[in-house]
Amino acid sequence: MGLFGFGKKKPEEKTQEELILQGAFNKGIIVPNHAKPVVVIPEKKVVVSKKNIFVINGVYDIGTQVMLSGVVESGKLSKKLITKINDKNVPISDVKIGSESVKELLVGSSGTIFLRGNNIPLLRSGDLLEFKEKK
């Protein structure tokens, strides 16, 4: 190879057989791959289930509230929801991602929820909580 490309090899011309193998042969016309129509694969839509399930990763007791860190397994979580723990309705008082309050946590997102109430029963890492709308 030379200094300014004088020694570059010229690209080899492809035979008809190679062109056929690379593209489709339709009614005597060779259609190379770069000229084929592009197939667009539709994006998967996020399906929100009716059950709002939260998987607990960490539990922290903060006075009158309990802070739960974890991941939303299905549905979405917002401040409008309550959960039933040992026949007690416990509302969500705040929803956060990091240190910022957010309106809701969607499927697959991890964050922190705060439950408000007196004598909230014992919760452990790995527990699943199902949330429903306040009535």
Whether 48 shows a pLDDT value over 50: the answer reads no
Residue 16: φ, ψ to 5° = -60, -35
The domain segmentation of the chain, as residue ranges, is 14-42, 52-133
Task: Provide the CATH number for the domain formed by 52-133 in this structure.
Answer: 2.40.30.10
- Torsion over CA: 17, 21, 26, 31 (sign): negative
pLDDT in tens, 1-46: 555 656 666 666 666 666 556 555 455 666 666 666 666 656 555 4
Q: What is the pTM of this model?
A: 0.60
C-alpha separations of 99 from 20, 47, 87, 91, 94 in Å: 59, 27, 31, 20, 11
Quote the pLDDT of residue 113.
93
pLDDT in tens, 60-117: 888 888 899 999 998 889 888 988 888 888 889 999 988 899 998 988 889 999 998 7
